[in-house]
Amino acid sequence: MTDTTSSQSASQSAKAQALRTLPGQERYVAPADETPLQAVDSIDESAPATSMWAEAWRTLRRNPLFIIAAVLILLVLLVALFPTLFTKGDPTYCDLEHSLDPSGPGHPFGYDLQGCDVYTRTVYGTRASLSVGVLTTLLVVVAGGLIGALAGYFGGWVDALLSRITDIFYAIPLLLGAIVVLQMFRTSESIWKVVLVLALFGWVSVARITRSSVMEAKNLEFNTASRALGASRVRNLFRHVIPNSLAPVIVVATTSLGTYIVSEATLSFLGIGLPSTVVSWGGDISAAQNLLRVDPAVLFWPSLALAITVLSFIMMGDAVRDALDPKSRTL
């Protein structure tokens, strides 16, 4: 039995040796002293630990798209917060003697049909349009994020109930729902009316994304370790799970802010958005639509300001998405 086993082993060794010596199948193994694996696999333990947000910020600083978007957004914020730095005029002061006058000294954009300074109204319209976008985004992130987090973390009947409510609102288009509700409350003239209506139909996308992100984060090791140390489910949700699920929510919120600014302009264009006493880009675009052939500049300037602002937030959203999504990074 031993002789048979020995002969089989010798035969297999001979076949292996014959395979190694066949042309084109020669194998080379470098000596151990020529492959310093310890140097290759070594880690600089003195280097500080970096988080996902630090890596994202390092990526954003090298992205020209982010720099351009950040400069434009800072300029828009500066105009909205301190309009008197850019114009000394009164946006509500109109003089019919200057109706549709061309641009002149101190009035670079000319006058509209009512004799109002188009440049001054464009500058002051930034505040109302941007306020609607920012406030709506904050409400959408808080409400949609909380609903999505509760549904994704607790699951079961909580997830089933909240998901069905989300599906109902998801089936209603944003602008269509806003038009119907605003028509019911036309007597109320407040900027919060538009903000609440847009948030009522805009939280769905944030809730769905937050739910998916929380369902992924709750099964990670840090969640299990926190539960093993005695943390309650509610504490674990707000202390660990939600902070580690914010990346996709931030991306969606940045992009959606421009969408809400456009929605406000659309509603004001239709005459059911902000009240006529509030200076906004949508209201000015609506008032100038009949002057497109007579004096297109009256319509052009508020439309250009609206387009630049929305484009800035879309560019910012794309840059943040590339920075927070490891799959989109190029090595």
Say which range, 36-45, 52-61, 168-177, 278-287, has the weakest mean pLDDT: 36-45
Average pLDDT, the chain: 82
pLDDT class of 113 with cuts at 50, 70, 90:
confident
From 206, 198, 220, 215, select the one nearest 248 (Cα to Cα): 206
On whether the CB atoms of residues 109 and 125 are closer than 8 A, the answer is no
Q: Which domains does the chain have, with CATH numbers?
A: 75-94+105-328 (1.10.3720.10)
Secondary structure string (H, E, C) spanning the chain: CHHHHHHHHHHHHHHHHHHHCCCCCCCCCCCHHHCCHHHHCCCCCCCCCCCHHHHHHHHHHCCHHHHHHHHHHHHHHHHHHCHHHCCCCCCCCECHHHCCCCCECCECCCECCCCEEHHHHHHHHHHHHHHHHHHHHHHHHHHHHHHHHHHHHHCHHHHHHHHHHHHHHHCCCHHHHHHHHHHHCCCCCCHHHHHHHHHHHHHHHHHHHHHHHHHHHCCCHHHHHHHHCCCCHHHHHHHHHCHHHHHHHHHHHHHHHHHHHHHHHHHHHCCCCCCCCCCCHHHHHHHHHHHCCCCCHHHHHHHHHHHHHHHHHHHHHHHHHHHHCHHHCCC
pLDDT class of 148 with cuts at 50, 70, 90:
very high
Q: What is the pTM of this model?
A: 0.78
Q: Which residue has the higher pLDDT, 8 or 29?
A: 29
Residues 6+ apart with CB under 8 A from 269: 282, 283, 285, 286, 289
Q: Which residue has the higher pLDDT, 200 or 51?
A: 200
Percent of the chain with pLDDT over 70: 81
Q: pLDDT digits over 227-255, tens only?
A: 777 777 788 888 888 888 888 888 888 88
Q: Is the pLDDT score of 319 beyond 90?
A: no
Q: What integer pLDDT is reported at residue 124 of this predicted model? A: 93
Residues 6+ apart with CB under 8 A from 17: none
Q: Is the pLDDT score of 303 beyond 80?
A: yes
pLDDT class of 203 with cuts at 50, 70, 90:
very high
Q: What integer pLDDT is reported at residue 141 of this predicted model? A: 93
